[in-house]
Structure 1
Amino acid sequence: MISLVFVMLWNRRGQAVTLALLGLLAVTSAVAAPAYLIAVDRAVAVGQIATAAPNELGLVASTVQDERVDTGDGTGTPGQAEQGLQFGDVATALVALPGFTYVYSAEYWVIGIDPNPANAGRFVYRQDVCAHLRILTGRCLAAEGDVLLGEHTAQRLNLKAGDSVELRSAVPSPDPKRKIWLPDGKPRRLLIAGTYRTTEPGAGYWGGRGYFTSTPETGPGEPIFTTAVTQQTMDHGRITLVMDGRAGPAALHPDRLGQLRTDLRNLNQNTADIGMAVQIDTGMPALLDRIDIGQSSTRLLVPVLAVPLILLACFTIFLTVGYGLEGRQSELAVVALRGSRWWTRWWLAAGESLVAVLAGALFGCLIGQLLVNAVAAIVFPDVGIPAGWSSLRYAPLAAGVALLSVMVAQRRQFVGPVAALLRRHPTTGNGRWAIAAEALAVLLAVVASVQLVLSQGSLTGVGLFAPAILMLALGLLAARVLLPLISRYAVRALHRGRLGVALAGLQLARRPGAGRLFALLVATVAVAGYATSAVDTAAAGRTVEATLGIGADRVLTVQTAQPQQLLAAVRRIDPDGAFAMAVTRLPPGASSADPPGLAVDSTRLAAVAAWPDDGPGPAEVAGRLRPELPAPPEFPGPDIAVDVSASGLAPGTRGLRLQVSVSSLNGIGDAVIELGELQNGPATYRQKIEVCQEGCRIDGIGFARTGTARITAEVVLRGVRATGPDREVLPVARLADPDSWRASPEVRVASAPDGLRVEFAESISVSPLVWIKPASTLDPIPVAAAGGRPAGGVINGLDGRPMLITDAATLPVVPQLGRRAVVVDLEYADRMTMNAGLGNAPQIWLNAAAPPDILDRVSAQGLTVVDDVRSDQIRRRLEQQGPALALGFHVLAGALAVLLGAGALVLSAAVDRRRRVEDLSALRNQGLRPGPAGQAMLLTYPALVAAAVVVGLPVAAIAWLVTGWALPLAGPYPPDLPLPGWPRVTVLLAVGAVVLLVLTAVALATGRDLRRRVTRRGTL
């Protein structure tokens, strides 16, 4: 019997090879999925490591020691300093982390170089620092007593290489109300060896120390670098000793990440056991968590198409085996008539298909692994796949399902009566069992879809099978609906004399397995379309994240600066508004429900910002955020005089103090200046304002209550002028116009013969400060909001105080912030703020037209860039994350699905060849012309393919509508952005056209030989 089966295989070797290839594809799909998961997990790890922040690629071990060294004789003890910098026992604890290299550093605070007692400098020794600095003037550190100054510090303090400075260690004042530094050691004179600029402030060498980040208490964010001996021999108290560890390739190898996590978890315990107060700071756990999150996304996205691909392969085997047995029914009938035993009959019926599928399955184990290896070598060239057999764990299951499909396809030949086997035209697929099976498939599709919705998109359990079952069920339903329509169309064509079309349609409609073949082709197209939907939608989402997510083509984050400074600097960098825009965040609200906000230079919004396609355009929004206002009052120099006449103040009691809020015209900053306490009668109040060296604008005139008594005074502002001849700025006529000023509710302004009358109501007794502001200040300020109007109609201003708003526009999303945020004009918001202070995350947004030397231009304005983010970098980073890498399998699955459809076409045509040739040859002998006969033979399967593509793309769209929303295309924690939910129609149609061309080419190739045979009259 075995030899007979092999003879049967040889005689029908074409069908056997095709069936073996289908078995190969089934097992290949089962092997490719886990093999691809292994490869993509490693690729996720490698990609995240390559794009990680410096603090995520290392750790910082620090401790604080009190090592005061008496340097009264000038000798010091450098040996003791070197021993302290080695961290002693701490280094022993860090040995448990192999693959790390360490940089030693030490630092403490010093004063003496900056005359402002609120600013201290970081006095730093760092190993091999000269190799990571660009020396601008002088030389690098070479001897004891040498120091290096940053370029901005040297310019600000008018220092240069060769000068000497006197420094002493410092500690912050214990009084929280006094933000100053106090001396904590003896002074020492040091030589400025040179000035420097850091070329890469974010490089891994600098670790996570934040040397180049400016704060109000630390000055410009440029450390004073020195040698180890100089630092230790200088009289000091507390010193911070630091070891920056940088992880190398061995520590961050993808196969060792689990062990690295364990080592990091144990590190704090090890240092605690040593008994030293060592603090371990590292961002590596966040990196490892991000890798885990990316890998979890791949484990959801890959099976989504691996499952339908395997089911499609098994359905293809089921269909083609059934087709093959229909062509062998006469053989099986003879075996049954001879009274063969059931196992003989079973072996002769199933052996041929089982051997072919089993042979293909064995090769599929190897082909699946080799295929993924080839794809990984192309897509992930630096990743590689470790040796092992884990990718084969699902191969036996897939092979078993494929063999089971063979057995199910032959159930009728096993148990059916001999009469059914002898029937030339077998029963169609409209029996009760076929209808029950299709109904079950539809029911499972409904259950899986409902479970997916109820679980809120959890791709577990039945929900994981939802796309596969849904596409198969829709394909079966489409076959039920379409084939009767084809039959009717064929009958009409026959009545109209279109014999070729009629015969082709009748062969399709009345062929017993045509419905299942059509359903298979529909599922093939649907899998390819579903894969296209996932890949294209995810790619569009990454584009949104890389543009709207950061706000512009490129975003520079600079060190803290006042909003007016940032605005003026950017306008000097780009006076035409062609490529740069100043942006700063509004301070966060007191409640988590308060939306975040951006303050932008809206005059450049349309030119620079990335903007959503729906909703009002950026130019329209900018016009609403920045209505036309009168020019603000200005004065040209640092000296200001205010002429005031007050009355009604209680004698001998504290009443009102006069203030003025100004902003410099050159962007130096803003200030609130105390002019003095008001007294009854006329007076002139003068003040010299440092930030107004090149002129200032007046943001407001304030009256601060200094006592507790109620105030019902009257003040007349008679003039505001810059001192000096002919330098009056605000004429009395303009000052006296109440329409030129906006007042707080507690005061009333009116015109007076000699100026502007300000009357105070008794309610000022509960208001410590009231302002009158020029009409150039909007109150309330227009905002464009996404996600609804902020609660209470207020947002936080630049100074953190509530600011009344009015609705200007409704946006679908605010760039960089998301679908619940607000936007205001930066200049108008600054005018409303009496003392903005330092900006919150000041940024410069750039478009693609930004010049190559933009960083130098920013530096020339006294701003230090601490972060430089580009949209193309973000896109590349996103493409290295789990969702994007996992979708590579969808492309592979789509290609394999098309191959399965092509194999089913080839085998179906091979089985049909003999019977179709017989039928049409008989018609030829009855007088059928060669043309219609050739059309009937050639157009049958191409027409089936065309119909399958036309139906398959809508099936893919329906499956995507029902299940696509649950796919974590942007990871398990997507950003709050309007990510696209649908693919581009043009892309979907283009893929459908490619599938149509491939399957049509296969169908035409299978029908060409049949046409040649049939068109010869009388050929059997």
Structure 2
Amino acid sequence: MIALVFSMVWARRGQALVVALLAMFGVAAAVAAPAYLRAADRATASGQVETAAAEDLAIAVRAYQSDPRTVKPGADLVGPDLERNGSVLLGMPGFDYVYSVEYPTIGVEPSISYATRFVYRQDACEHLVMTAGRCLIGEADIILPEATGRRLELAPGDSIQLRAAVRVVPRGEPPFYAPVGVHKQFLVAGFYRVPDPRNVYWGTHAYFAPSSGLPPGANEPAFVGSATLHAMDRGAVEAGLDAYPRAGALDVDNLPAVRDGLVAMQAGATSLGGGVEMRSELPALLDRIDSGRDAGHRIVPVLAVALVLLACLTIFLAVGYGTEGRRPELAVVALRGARWGQRWWLATGENLVAILIGAVLGCLAGQLLVNAFSAYRFPGVGADPGLDSLRWAPVAAGAAVLTALLAERRQIATPVAELLRRAPSVPTSARAIAVEAVVVILAGVAVVQLTDDLRGVGTAAAALVLVAGSLVAARLLIPLATLLGRRALRRSRIGVALAGFQLSRRPGAVRLFALLTAAVAVIGYAASAVDVAARGRVDESVLGTGAQRVIELGPTGRPNLLAAVRAVDPEGKFAMAAMRLPKDPAAPTVVAVDTTRLATVAAWPSGAPAVESITRALHPAAAPPVDVDGAKVAFDITADGFRPGKAVAVSVVLSPRDGGNDEIVELGVLRDGRQTYGQTVPACAKGCTLNSVRIVGGTGTLDVSGHITVHKLTGGAPGNGVPGDVLTDPSRWRASEGGEIGRSADGLRIDVTSLNGLPSGMFVQPAAAPDPLPVATAGIGALPTIEGLDSRPVRVSVAAALPAVPGAGAPAVLTDLTYADALATDGAASSNALVWLNSSAPADIVDQLAAHGVTVTADVRASQVRARLDTQGPAIALWFYVIVAVLAAALAAGALILAASVDRDRRVEDLSALRGQGLSRAALRQATLWTYPVLIAVAVVAGLGVALLGWWLTGWALPLAGLTPPAIPLAGWPRPVTIGATALATLLMLAGVAVLAGRRTLRRIR
């Protein structure tokens, strides 16, 4: 009997090969999913490490040691000694450690307002490039930055003196450095350049960070050796121990040990006592890796389940088709009195052998497919194959065998008379409808379960929806095909009628349509997920950044920021000044931008009002600013009504129009009567704008009230004064709490009513900005005030609503930087200044900005953010959907080939007979070549409809943006062009297979 079965396999080896291949695809899908997850885990960890910043990888331990000369002889240092006791911190597996010490010194720089960073760092010479001289050898050697050597005109071999220093901050005066040790003579051994300042070796010390207001190289370290460090007479120092990973230390298999090492290292730092601080962003990096892996483990199984179900449907179709082709053979076996077991074995043995062979090949093919794809998509990472990938292979193989038995059960149980019919009856029984209803109900239950989480039954929700939708569509095929066939017959379109009747009279055609629809639905669902996720990553990288490129600046004044940007881009083609307002943690993010350039530079969210309308709403016309031109600023003021001991002091904030930080001009305490108060302000030689006038009472003084009249405000040069009509027009001014603007024909009258409870005093400002300040909000309802640039509340009016604010998302607020600055009163430099750039920015934009008085501290590009997102778990997991789409197309093509091969002999007989009875060649071609292509065309349309239905019901649950999606609106539906391209590609591929199969049939008809 076994020999007979093998003979049957060989006799129908073509069909057996197709069944084996289909089983191989099903088992390969079950093997590929866990194998791909393993590869995805490795790729996620590797990608996050490769795109991480140095501070994300390093672990920094800082120990602060007091001046050793204040300790009694024989006593320990006041503070932990990492050099002697740091061994308790050496617990990170796969990490290297670097010991360092630094403190400030003076003696070589011409000013004591800044110090030379005196640094010992273990193995520093290995990470430096010497541009002149040599690196450290002797006890008195020192190497200096290349820029410092040029600036101070030093050469290798020169001698310099340094001494330890301490920073002194006197009250009311600029800070400076004072000596705390004796001089030491040093030999300048050479000058260095740093090939990679961002190398993780340098840790988080910011040795080479740009410095604001310092000469070139002044902020960079002067490196010395260990012996020099101990020989130096010094005061307090900061010792450091930096740990950073070696290659492979953060591979996915090592992450649990790394976490345990972090815990041990923190315990060691705690054991050293006070004065030790441990800082690291590595836990956040590990959390991102775990989050990406978790997202991948949720995404991959969704279509893996769908692909396994599709493979089972394909095997059901293939076995059913093959068994239908053997109906006469099964009838003969039954007529000869074969026992029930023999009938089962002869009916199923051929397919079972093919399925078992295919299952074995599928175990190998699934892993090889993942290996090949990983080598292509994740080079250098590897798939790390293992037996764990085979854990679902027996389940898939068992499902394939069970599917084959179910497909053959009906034919074995069919009476002999029915088996001998050439046109078998179409199954429309209540049992078939009940089975399909059960699948639909299961799909509904799984969708409902998705409201909780994408786990358990919810994982199969998408697969069940796609299969259920395909079965419902197939249930509608028979009446539709019959109707079209009868209509074509009445119109004498014989070829079309024969094609329609072929579909309506053949039960296998119905199952084939269900399979093709399901395959197209899986492909469409995969394309939808990939497209939506890709668009989300683009939005997150561009809209989340704010623009194509964002440059972060060191502390600078708002007028200086605006002037610098307008100087490098006077026409507003590529650059825009921006700033994040000081943020209360409980308040939404506020982004202030130069709205006149908003349309040119900023990324704009889809679905938002036109950017031009937002610009008009946020930057309405306002009164012109009050200008003060000239370096000798003078105020002609009359003060009256202030009681003895209740005088007020006045200061003003002037903003240079051509760049530079705000100038705070102290006019001093006002005296009774009319007086002139003046200061020389060199920054206003080219013109300034009056920002605010501050009026403050004495410390602890209550019930301050009186009247101030500003008669004149001049800049020193003739004709440079503020026009009198500006001072006498109360509408051109506004006062804060504590006073009000009065009417006077002799100047600006300020009535101070009470300064009680106002430690900062009251402020008077020109009405050069609308009040309340217009803003656009995202994700916020009512908003009475925001925190201003000076941290004071600012009244606002909501002028427009946005889906998201560029660079902030939602909830967030967008407003105009010029007006926000005009409402600020502090005159202080801000540390949150930004320059947004579009793709047209010149390559040397950083140098251009630096030349205009701002310091660049970071350069963030949307392309870099996109690269990081592309290495996260969701993006990597979605590549599996590409594999699924290819396998689904292969399953559909295999089913088509099998159906055509099984039907070929009978169709050749039928059509040859009709041909002999006068069927035209044209009708014959239509009947032969149109049957399956028409079926495919309808299946593509129906399949994409099912895919979109499945996406609507389940796509929202996929963590395409990670487990913590950003606060920006992300795409929810695939683009029509993506769906259209998917439909066209699928139609061409499957129709091509069908046409080739039809041509082979046509050639056999005589």
> Considering the TM-score relative to the shorter chain, is it more than 0.5?
yes
- Is the 8 Å Cα contact of residues 581 and 589 (structure 2) preserved in structure 1? yes
Counterpart-to-counterpart distance in 1, 2:426 and 2:222: 88
CA drift at 1:685:
1.3
Counterpart-to-counterpart distance in 2, 1:836 and 1:211: 30
**For residue 727 of structure 2, what is the aligned residue in structure 1?**
735
For the pair 1:203 / 2:199, whether they are aligned, the reply is yes
TM-score, scaled to structure 1? 0.90
Counterpart-to-counterpart distance in 2, 1:472 and 1:495: 35
- Give the residue type in structure 1 aligned to 2:713: V
CA drift at 1:513:
2.1
- Is the 8 Å Cα contact of residues 212 and 854 (structure 2) preserved in structure 1? no
Counterpart-to-counterpart distance in 2, 1:771 and 1:145: 57
CA drift at 1:811:
1.6
Aligned pair in 2 of structure 1 residues 131, 664: CA closer, same or farther (>3 Å)? farther
CA drift at 1:459:
1.4
Deviations 1:463-482 (A, max 9, x none): 11111111111111111223
For the pair 1:497 / 2:488, whether they are aligned, the reply is no
Deviations 1:81-106 (A, max 9, x none): 9xx99823424752x43543333321
- Give the residue type in structure 2 aligned to 1:702: R
For the pair 1:756 / 2:752, whether they are aligned, the reply is no
Aligned pair in 2 of structure 1 residues 606, 217: CA closer, same or farther (>3 Å)? closer
CA drift at 1:551:
0.9
Q: In the comparison of the two structures, how many residue pairs are matched?
A: 994
Of 437-446 and 873-882, deviating more is: 873-882
Counterpart-to-counterpart distance in 2, 1:86 and 1:649: 62
CA drift at 1:358:
1.0
For the pair 1:611 / 2:607, whether they are aligned, the reply is no
Counterpart-to-counterpart distance in 2, 1:913 and 1:207: 72
CA drift at 1:750:
4.2
CA drift at 1:371:
1.4
Q: Secondary structure at the match of 1:663?
A: strand
For the pair 1:717 / 2:710, whether they are aligned, the reply is yes
CA drift at 1:796:
0.7
- Give the residue type in structure 1 aligned to 2:570: P
Counterpart-to-counterpart distance in 1, 2:83 and 2:936: 74
Aligned pair in 2 of structure 1 residues 138, 387: CA closer, same or farther (>3 Å)? closer
Q: Secondary structure at the match of 1:682?
A: strand
- Give the residue type in structure 2 aligned to 1:202: R
Aligned pair in 2 of structure 1 residues 270, 138: CA closer, same or farther (>3 Å)? closer
Q: Secondary structure at the match of 2:507?
A: coil
For the pair 1:562 / 2:573, whether they are aligned, the reply is no
Counterpart-to-counterpart distance in 2, 1:722 and 1:145: 55
**For residue 855 of structure 2, what is the aligned residue in structure 1?**
864
**For residue 95 of structure 2, what is the aligned residue in structure 1?**
100
**For residue 773 of structure 1, what is the aligned residue in structure 2?**
765
Of 677-686 and 251-260, deviating more is: 251-260
Counterpart-to-counterpart distance in 2, 1:669 and 1:369: 63
Structure 1 counterpart of 2:581, from 550, 575, 586:
586
CA drift at 1:9:
1.4
Aligned pair in 2 of structure 1 residues 417, 35: CA closer, same or farther (>3 Å)? same
For the pair 1:170 / 2:161, whether they are aligned, the reply is no
For the pair 1:674 / 2:701, whether they are aligned, the reply is no
- Is the 8 Å Cα contact of residues 212 and 855 (structure 2) preserved in structure 1? no
Q: Secondary structure at the match of 2:404?
A: helix
**For residue 219 of structure 2, what is the aligned residue in structure 1?**
222
Counterpart-to-counterpart distance in 1, 2:83 and 2:685: 50
CA drift at 1:208:
1.2
- Is the 8 Å Cα contact of residues 201 and 866 (structure 1) preserved in structure 2? no
Query: Structure 2 matches for 1:396-407, cutoff 5 A?
Result: 396-407=394-405
Counterpart-to-counterpart distance in 2, 1:243 and 1:764: 52
- Is the 8 Å Cα contact of residues 556 and 844 (structure 1) preserved in structure 2? yes
Counterpart-to-counterpart distance in 2, 1:934 and 1:627: 72
Query: Structure 2 matches for 1:787-936, cutoff 5 A?
Result: 787-789=779-781, 791=783, 793-936=784-927
Aligned pair in 2 of structure 1 residues 688, 56: CA closer, same or farther (>3 Å)? same
CA drift at 1:649:
2.1
CA drift at 1:199:
6.7
**For residue 625 of structure 2, what is the aligned residue in structure 1?**
632
- Give the residue type in structure 2 aligned to 1:64: Y
Structure 2 counterpart of 1:688, from 680, 691, 706:
680
Q: Secondary structure at the match of 1:685?
A: strand
CA drift at 1:680:
2.5
- Give the residue type in structure 1 aligned to 2:489: L
Query: Structure 2 matches for 1:414-425, cutoff 5 A?
Result: 414-425=412-423
CA drift at 1:409:
0.8
Structure 2 unpaired stretches of 5+: none
CA drift at 1:204:
1.9
CA drift at 1:111:
7.1
- Is the 8 Å Cα contact of residues 608 and 803 (structure 2) preserved in structure 1? yes
**For residue 597 of structure 1, what is the aligned residue in structure 2?**
590
- Give the residue type in structure 2 aligned to 1:495: R
Structure 2 counterpart of 1:516, from 511, 518, 523:
511
CA drift at 1:499:
0.5
- Is the 8 Å Cα contact of residues 644 and 717 (structure 1) preserved in structure 2? yes
- Give the residue type in structure 1 aligned to 2:973: W
- Give the residue type in structure 2 aligned to 1:669: N
**For residue 971 of structure 2, what is the aligned residue in structure 1?**
980
Of 100-109 and 529-538, deviating more is: 100-109
Deviations 1:951-986 (A, max 9, x none): 111111111111111111111111111110111111
Counterpart-to-counterpart distance in 1, 2:851 and 2:1000: 78
Aligned pair in 2 of structure 1 residues 217, 845: CA closer, same or farther (>3 Å)? closer
Query: Structure 2 matches for 1:451-490, cutoff 5 A?
Result: 451-452=449-450, 454-455=451-452, 458-490=453-485
Of 424-433 and 367-376, deviating more is: 424-433
Of 956-965 and 141-150, deviating more is: 141-150
Counterpart-to-counterpart distance in 1, 2:363 and 2:968: 42
For the pair 1:950 / 2:941, whether they are aligned, the reply is yes
Q: CA RMSD in A?
A: 3.4
CA drift at 1:216:
10
Structure 1 counterpart of 2:546, from 538, 551, 566:
551
Counterpart-to-counterpart distance in 1, 2:829 and 2:726: 33
Aligned pair in 2 of structure 1 residues 672, 176: CA closer, same or farther (>3 Å)? closer
Counterpart-to-counterpart distance in 1, 2:197 and 2:682: 32
Counterpart-to-counterpart distance in 2, 1:333 and 1:52: 69
CA drift at 1:136:
9.8
- Is the 8 Å Cα contact of residues 150 and 224 (structure 1) preserved in structure 2? no
Q: Secondary structure at the match of 1:730?
A: coil
Counterpart-to-counterpart distance in 1, 2:133 and 2:818: 41
Aligned pair in 2 of structure 1 residues 22, 136: CA closer, same or farther (>3 Å)? closer
Counterpart-to-counterpart distance in 2, 1:402 and 1:172: 81
Deviations 1:901-939 (A, max 9, x none): 111111112221222223223333333333323321221
Counterpart-to-counterpart distance in 2, 1:289 and 1:99: 19
Q: Secondary structure at the match of 2:636?
A: strand
Of 924-933 and 942-951, deviating more is: 924-933
- Give the residue type in structure 2 aligned to 1:4: L
Counterpart-to-counterpart distance in 2, 1:149 and 1:908: 77
Aligned pair in 2 of structure 1 residues 420, 235: CA closer, same or farther (>3 Å)? same
**For residue 2 of structure 2, what is the aligned residue in structure 1?**
2
**For residue 577 of structure 1, what is the aligned residue in structure 2?**
572
- Is the 8 Å Cα contact of residues 554 and 831 (structure 2) preserved in structure 1? no
- Is the 8 Å Cα contact of residues 123 and 223 (structure 1) preserved in structure 2? no
Of 993-1002 and 708-717, deviating more is: 708-717
Q: Secondary structure at the match of 2:92?
A: coil
Counterpart-to-counterpart distance in 2, 1:134 and 1:619: 51
CA drift at 1:556:
1.6
Counterpart-to-counterpart distance in 1, 2:280 and 2:745: 69
Query: Structure 2 matches for 1:517-532, cutoff 5 A?
Result: 517-532=512-527
Deviations 1:179-237 (A, max 9, x none): 96785723648789699886754332321123456899999992452424555444433
CA drift at 1:271:
5.5
Structure 1 unpaired stretches of 5+: 72-79
- Give the residue type in structure 1 aligned to 2:299: L
Counterpart-to-counterpart distance in 2, 1:275 and 1:737: 65
